[in-house]
């Protein structure tokens, strides 16, 4: 007679998860807990790729995946969930195909949308634990606040260049993201991966650690990273741990919270809904109009030479950001100037530099040359 303790696992699953089943910290009860678990993964990019692969391989019963982007060739250096044949296609479709092949016992719930204040709580409350693989501050604060308000544990991860961070936020037993970062940095201060770069293997390490923390949480094994921030320096191959504590003054999880509903996170992070600041930015549409006008602005492209070689605007002047302080004299302080980079981070730094040097009529192209390629010149090379 079959062992009744195995009734929730098929013969194929018993064989598939045999290395889990012999672990005393997981065993049959833990594997059944994984099969019953509902995990929500935000993003199928650098962090989401390894997290999704290992969560699916581990036998998580339901994996919700929030994603609305398409696979770009520049993603493949680190987003290992997708292959060359998926370029141009939906990341959700690519993920669904790969994960179904990896483990057909996992039920994937694709959520083809951008999380917002209007839908985040409704999405998150359907799951047991959330793994955040997002790459921008508005989404991080949105996901944190929604998890706190819904009482869900949040596995946090972030990457930049050669460094990464991981933690688990779950008030009131442990702090939330806002206890660690009460306020977002000013717009443009922290470049994203496209602007600052990231070594391809780093998100594999951090995303795998996020999957590990989610699995530990589900099966109740070991000590979770609650109340601790794990920092990883890939250049030194060094891990450091920082102790975290809940902030009693935290506006979300503190003793007297003031945030009881989700807010406008674009505005909270210093951005208007379309990502542009009218006093500092110019939209792609407005620049296109200005460039064919009677007094077109001077476009100053501050990207690196290799980026300029891939794609640039006709008539633009190329002055890499690192050379700009020494070459300011080449520019006319009286002329309208638009600074351009890849996505609009370095161009904001160039704007501040020029305004500080007495240039009164400077704006930055919101979204950078990538937005120009998407909206104006579809045939332009994107990277």
Task: Give the residue numbers annotated as catalytic, written as ranges.
Answer: 193, 341
- Contact (Cβ atoms closer than 8 angstroms) between residue 321 and residue 377: no
| Per-residue tokens: 335 | 């002329």
Place of tokens 């379309």: 274
Place of tokens 């006008």: 293
Q: Which residues contact 232 (CB under 8 A, 6 or more apart)?
A: 163, 164, 165, 166, 202, 205, 206, 238, 239
Distances (CA, A) of 213 to 3, 6, 167, 177, 219: 30, 25, 9, 16, 10
Q: How far is C-alpha 164 from the geometric centre of its chain's CA atoms?
A: 12
d(CA 194, CA 180): 25
d(CA 303, CA 347): 8
Place of tokens 């717009």: 187
Provide the residue count of the chain: 383
| Per-residue tokens: 378 | 């579809």
Query: What radius of gyration do the chain's Cα atoms show?
Result: 23
| Per-residue tokens: 242 | 């920082």
Q: By C-alpha distance, which of 218, 235, 190, 269 is closest to 30?
A: 218
d(CA 383, CA 73): 7
Q: By C-alpha distance, which of 179, 182, 180, 183 is closest to 248?
A: 179
CB hemisphere CA count around 25 (13 angstroms): 9
Phi, psi of 110 (to 5 degrees): -75, 135
């Amino acid at each position: 007679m079959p062992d009744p303790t195995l009734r929730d696992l098929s013969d194929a699953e018993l064989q598939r998860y045999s290395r889990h089943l012999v672990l005393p910290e997981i065993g049959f009860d833990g594997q059944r807990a994984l099969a019953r678990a509902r995990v929500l993964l935000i993003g199928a990019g650098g962090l989401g790729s390894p997290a999704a692969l290992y969560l699916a391989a581990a036998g998580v019963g339901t994996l919700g995946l929030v994603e609305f982007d398409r696979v770009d060739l520049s993603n493949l250096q680190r987003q290992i969930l997708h292959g060359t044949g998926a370029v141009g296609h939906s990341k959700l479709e690519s993920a669904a195909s790969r994960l179904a092949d990896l483990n057909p016992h996992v039920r994937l719930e694709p959520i083809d949308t951008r999380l917002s204040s209007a839908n985040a709580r409704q999405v998150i409350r359907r799951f047991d634990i959330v793994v955040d693989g997002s790459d921008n501050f508005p989404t991080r604060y949105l996901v944190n606040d929604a998890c706190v308000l819904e009482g869900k544990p949040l596995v946090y991860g972030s990457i930049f260049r050669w460094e990464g961070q991981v933690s688990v936020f779950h008030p009131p037993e442990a702090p939330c993201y806002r206890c660690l970062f009460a306020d977002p940095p000013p717009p443009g201060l922290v470049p994203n991966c496209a602007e600052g770069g990231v070594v391809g293997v780093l998100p594999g390490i951090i995303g795998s650690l996020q999957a590990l923390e989610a699995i530990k949480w589900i099966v109740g094994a070991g000590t979770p990273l609650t109340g601790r921030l794990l920092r990883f320096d890939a250049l030194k191959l060094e891990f450091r741990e920082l102790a975290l504590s809940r902030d009693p003054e935290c506006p979300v999880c503190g003793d007297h919270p003031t945030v009881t509903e989700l807010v406008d996170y674009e505005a909270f992070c210093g951005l208007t809904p379309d990502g542009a600041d009218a006093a500092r930015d110019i939209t792609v549409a407005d620049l296109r109009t200005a460039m064919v006008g009677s007094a077109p602005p001077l476009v100053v492209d501050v990207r690196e030479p290799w980026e300029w070689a891939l794609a640039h605007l006709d008539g633009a002047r190329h002055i890499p950001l690192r050379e700009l302080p020494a070459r300011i004299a080449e520019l006319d302080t009286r002329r309208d100037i638009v600074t351009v980079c890849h996505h609009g981070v370095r161009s904001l730094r160039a704007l501040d530099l020029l305004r500080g040097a007495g240039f009164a009529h400077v704006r930055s192209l919101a979204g950078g040359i990538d937005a120009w390629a998407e909206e104006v010149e579809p045939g332009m090379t994107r990277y």
